[in-house]
Chain A
Amino acid sequence: MNHNRLIFGLLILGCIIATSASWADTGTVDTEIAAAAKAGPAGLKELERSAIETIKSGAPRMEKDHACRILRVIGTKDSIDALGDLLADEELSHIARYALESMRYPEADKALRDALGKSSGQVKVGIINSLAMRGGTQNVSALLALLNDTDSEIADAAAWALGRIGSGRAVSALSGSYGSAPEKRKAAIADGLLNAAARLVVKGSLPEALAIYKQLQTADAPEHIRMGAFAGTIEAQPDKAQSMLIEAAASDDWKIRGMAIDMIVALEGEGVTERFSANLDKLDAETQVLMLGALVARDEKDALRPVITEAVSSSNGQMRELAIKSLGDIGDASSVQVLVDVIESGKSDEDKGLSTSSLRRLPGKSINGQIVKSMKTSSAEGRVKLIEILQDRDATEAVDELLIAASDKDADIRRAAFKALADLAGPEDQKALIRLLVNLKADAGRAEAERAVISVCRNLDEAAGAEPILAAMDSTTATKCSLLRVLGGIGNAMGFAVVRQGLEDRNPEVRDTAVRTLADWPDASAALSLLEVFQKTSNPTHRIVALRGCVRQLSLGTLASADTLGICGELMKGSDGPQEKKMVLAALAKSGEPGAIEIIEPLLADNDVRAEAELAMLGIIRNMTGPMPDEAKTAAQTLRNRSRNETIKKEVAAVIRLIDKFEDYIMAWQVSGPYSKPFADTFDTAFGPEEADADDVSWKTLPISKTGNRPWMFDLQAAIGGQGKAGYARTWVHCDAEQAARLEFGTDDGNKVWLNGKLVHANNAGGPATPGEHKVPVILQKGWNALLLKVTQDTGTWQFCFAIRKPNGGRLEGLGIQASEPTK
């Protein structure tokens, strides 16, 4: 076995092994050439010699095939004779051409030409095709002889090849035979001629190209040949191109018309936009729009702007729409009033909408100033639109004008101005805004004014935000109520105290506002005050407003669990009827505490609320499943025994079955990710969760898989997804006393583990997550222990499982698990 056959044999074996495993090998030809190249020119020469020897030998077909593939890349003149010998071989002709076609040696042409005389049928067609791809006038004579071959496939191939070469003789022969050729052959010749003409245009031989195009522009030629020829006549006559395209744009043939207009986009020369726009009105309505579209696409802004501006008032709806839209991209300050006029008195709602959109994006620094100027002469409705546009354009330079508009007698203008000011006003405008709010004489615009003041004050520190409001508090009832709502919107401690005082105000309107403001408080600070209102008020409306507000704030989940349960307990005690109890139950359903179940259990016997109580209890059980599976299971068994609802029973049974599969794995986690950075290694890069002070890290509950028998194998791909990413999981572990333990876990792929902020393990290996693959002895401190796990992923699955066991691997009892950060 020669060298090449040995390599080939090994490769075949390797391929079989590789494909049976993964289908991927390392690229046989590439790797052989790379290996040979390492030995320098001598190595490559030896590889070539070996390949030549193979194709000359009696080796099987696919060994010779492989040798030709190598010669395609590294073959020299030395290989041409051997390759040429294969050209007439029906089985190996193609693979020999595979090697020869891209070799830049004249000897390769000769080998191919010589093979024409030794071949026939499709093999010969292939050789002609290779000569065509190589090009070169030296091959023309051989091909000319085949132009009238009795084998039509050979003759067609020769016509194509001659056209691709495109020499004078080739063109002359093709042109000469075109008229008298049978129909089928005509297409092949025309293809060759069009090909040749295009090459003549590139070379600058325009008259010769034009002659070809004119010959092909006969009425009986197929449409695509006529179109190609027509386009060619224009390209071959640049001095006449504009006139010809103007004429063609009015053609009766819709394809010629469309093609001509498309060609205008790329037409070179001066004054194109001016010339074609001057002829717009001679076209029919639909063609006008296409023409205008082509001129817009040319993007000659200065020449186009007057055309577009005129088209804004066209009677053709599509023309107007295109013009109005285009003006948003190419317009300047002078276009503002044009667009404003459309907004004011456009012919259709579509026009008005497009004009608004164009004005929003019209580029340029002076545009906002122009819009402000236009506002002064606009109708009330128009001013509202322009104010909204200024808001969308982030036109902070318009704030002074908006402050004036905010005291306009027209309510819609006031509302729009305050809305814009909420986005655009800065701290320096705080007092002016408060003044506007205080001076409001009607309620129209009050809500918007309040939101504007809130927006500005939220960007100030607590005192600066609240003090000017407190100073304005001694005012009319309406204003005082407004300012209380503003304090509620700001939501800081200073404002809270004032609103809380409002509960004692002598004025019932103020008291009412105070209750509602507390109910709407943005965080849970007002929950206790609302409980108090709920318990003490004699006003039934205030009672229900307070209850709703309190339940909402508890549902935010920001209060300590004990506080939440305490308030819920009190609310439940004070609840009068089923409706109130149901609201409290809704809040309790989000808890994950056994104490919540204690509050609910008595209600399981209350027919008025039993259904809601069961649902709430199911919710709590689900929330407890990961952190405290034993307690969850006990509660689930209780609910299963007491419920009469089959659906609830089924759901609870599913929870119990799930818990039974948990073993001793940690089942309560929060997850964050995915993370990656360009060019950075995900394993080594410290992303947000690793940074002590990172404040932009977002965590969410990591769901437990409810299918399969391994719910403890967490699927990060499903939870956060991605390829080549890092993800983090965290939880807290509670110990009654310091003790030794062992972390046992598996990850897919790499991992890092921190216990109480200290890195205790790192491993960047890939592969599937195997339970207990990693074992790390640790000391758990008394109280809460923070556990952070990083799992990186290359491709495919992305999983982990994690348990804390005794140092000897035995089950460790008595640990508390909590996925959210324990309250201090």
Chain B
Amino acid sequence: MGQTKGEGLSRRSFLRGAGGMIALPTIISATALGSDGRPAASERIVMGTIGFGGRASGVMPAFMREDDVQMVAICDVKGNRRKLAQETVNRHYGNTDCDAYIDLRELLARDDIDAVLIATGDYWHSAAACLTARAGKDMYCEKPMSVTITEGRAVAETMKRYRRIFQCGTQRRNVSQFMFAANLVHKGLLGELKVVHAEKAPKWHDTYETLLPAEPEPHREVLDWDLWLGPAAWRPYNSKYASRQFWGGHLDFAGGSYTEWGSHTVDLCQWAAKKDDTSPVIYHLVDQDVEAYYEDGLKLILRGNIGRGSCAVRFEGTEGWIEVDDSGHIEVEPQSLQSKRKLGKGYPVDDHVRDFLNSFKSRRQPAAPAEGAHRSITACHAANICRRLGRTVKWDPAAEEFIGDEQANRMASRAYRQPWRL
């Protein structure tokens, strides 16, 4: 259906092992400091934030903590969130300079903005990312980058088309305990990798397409319902839709438990296995879980209840295994592989944000570029399709289509509501 894959250049990513720990110089010199010790205004990265829900309330401040960032605009379709975001920015800088928008296109039309944080609902990520790239801006885009496979491919192609820096909000690629685990695999210390386990979220396993009864539509200043829906199919307004607890499991707006945590955990598995340019080729439904296999036989298990904390992954090789999660607890065999330094816990975003800003300045690929994010979320979408159809599906990662499965292929994409496009 008109999709193209492959590139003249190989998709080998800019390996982070060599340069990652060294502060590589940035091509923009940040040495000219302003009177407050920050880089001079002309040297700062001017940013906007699109979508200010729970996630952005953590990530946007992380951006503002960086001296070389100046947040100048925010956008949200909800009036209360818009006001809160604007107040947050103004309070941080001690001024009243932050502009607030309902429509992301108005924010993106500003020539003075270099980059944006996209933290909308899941179903808006791809459309917003493509609009941002076409506006000539770089972006830190929250995960999952897409709600269909077609969307993800379009985002990856658009980023390449305009050579934009895209950092997916899969920040665990820059969190110490997960980096440690991936590094063990990369260095071959677990032997040949045989099985990778990715944890799915405990909620929203059973996704839904519920239609709620119509309620009176609020004033646009309170909530712009048409913009809230964006590329998703129209439905009459009901206040529950706009609650993340609800839309997180609704198929019009998200992908449920598989994409909620799989966007992190499958991504970590693919990263550890150096499979940022592919996805598993076959997906089996086994009870409540999905077991998938890559072309080389590596097995991916997408399941619940791994580890002590959230977003756990487990990598099993012929000579050992490791299990890590957000709790910071690390189980590793053999024990001699246990880290001698204290690793962190949780899933802080600061290093991932800094990594994006460094990439903005150097133009090198960040830790979670679009192609890798697309390939890992493709595995989550394929697993979801396998679960929803209740049968095995086969995937061709080169052609990016399901093999001999018309229903599965139709579920891999869906038309955007006008006027939105990818």
CB-defined interface of B282-320 with A at 8 Å, one 1/0 digit per residue? 000000000000000000010011101100001000000
Of A164, A674, A725, the residue contacting B2 (CB under 8 A) is A164
Tell me, in angstroms, the Cα distance from A29 to B410 when the chains sit together.
13
Q: Contact at A266–B11, with CB atoms within 8 Å?
A: yes
Contact of A98 among B203, B204, B415 (CB under 8 A): B415
Q: Are A259 and B163 in contact (CB under 8 A)?
A: yes
A198 nearest CB neighbor, chain B only: B161
A34 to chain B: closest residue by CB: B390
A-B contact number at CB 8 A: 268
* A27/B163 in contact, CB under 8 A: no
Q: List B137-167 residues whose CB lies under 8 Å from chain A.
A: 150, 157, 160-164
Closest to B289 in A: A679
Q: Whose C-beta in chain A lies nearest to the C-beta of B134?
A: A191
Q: Does B197 contact A (CB under 8 A)?
A: yes
Chain A residues near B361 (CB-CB < 8 A) = 258
A1-31 contact mask (Cβ, 8 Å, vs B): 1 or 0: 0000000000110011011000111111110
CA distance in complex: A62, B212 (Å): 11
Interface size class of A (residues with CB under 8 A): 35 or more
A322 touches B22 (CB 8 A): yes
Which residues of chain A have C-beta atoms less than 8 A from B212's C-beta? 15, 19
Among B9, B134, B236, B389, the residue within 8 A (CB) of A267 is B9
Q: Answer whether residue B12 sits at the interface, using C-beta atoms and an 8 A cutoff.
A: yes
Whether B17 contacts A329 by the Cβ 8 Å rule is yes
| Interchain CA distance A174-B340 in the complex, whole Å | 60
Does chain A have a CB within 8 A of B209? yes
Q: Which of A15, A133, A202 has the most CB of B within 10 A?
A: A133
| A89-132 near B? 1/0 per residue, CB < 8 Å | 00101110110111110000000000000000011011001101
Answer yes or no: A225 CB below 8 A from chain B CBs.
Answer: yes
Q: What residues of chain A lie closer than 8 Å to B29, measured between beta carbons? A: 286
Q: Give every chain B residue within 8 A of A258 (Cβ-Cβ).
A: 27, 361-364
Most A Cβ at <10 Å: residue of B2, B365, B420:
B2
CA distance A254 to B29 in the complex (A): 10
Q: Which residues of B sit under 8 angstroms from A293, Cβ to Cβ?
A: 14, 18-19, 22, 24, 364
Partner of A133, one of B1, B202, B234: B1
Report which of A122, A126, A202, A267 forms a contact with B4, defined as CB distance below 8 A: A202
- Indicate whether A299 reaches chain B with its CB closer than 8 angstroms: yes
CB contacts (< 8 Å) of B240 on chain A: these are 19, 23
| With contact pairs A19-B210, A293-B18 given, residues A725 and B415 touching in the complex (Cβ less than 8 Å) | no
Residue A574 lies at the interface, judged by CB distance under 8 Å to chain B: no
Structural contact, B418 and A201, CB atoms closer than 8 A? no
Please name all residues of chain B whose beta carbon is closer than 8 Å to the beta carbon of A97 when the two chains form the complex: 415
A227 is an interface residue with CB less than 8 A from chain B: yes
Interface residues on B, range: 35 or more
Distance between Cα atoms of A195 and B9 in the complex (Å):
16
B25 at the interface (CB under 8 A from A): yes
Contact across chains for A29 and B15 when beta carbons are under 8 A apart? no
Point out the residues of chain B lying under 8 angstroms from A394, CB to CB. Answer: 336
CA distance A99 to B335 in the complex (A): 54
**B407→A678 contact, CB < 8 A:** no
Q: In B1-41, which residues have CB < 8 Å from any A CB?
A: 1-15, 17-19, 21-29
Where the two chains meet, the residues of A that have a C-beta atom closer than 8 Å to any C-beta of B are 11-12, 15-16, 18-19, 23-30, 33-34, 62, 65-66, 69, 72-74, 91, 93-95, 97-98, 100-104, 122-123, 125-126, 129-130, 132-136, 153, 157, 160, 164-165, 187, 191, 194-195, 198-199, 201-203, 222-225, 227-228, 231, 235-236, 238, 254-255, 257-259, 261-263, 265-268, 285-287, 289-290, 293-294, 296-299, 318, 321-322, 325-326, 329, 363, 392, 394, 674, 676, 678, 682, 721-725, 795
Give me the interface of B with A, judged by CB distance under 8 Å: 1-15, 17-19, 21-29, 133-134, 136, 150, 157, 160-164, 187, 197, 202-204, 206-213, 233-236, 240, 245-246, 249, 251, 301, 304-306, 308-309, 314, 327, 336, 340, 361-365, 388-390, 406-407, 409-422
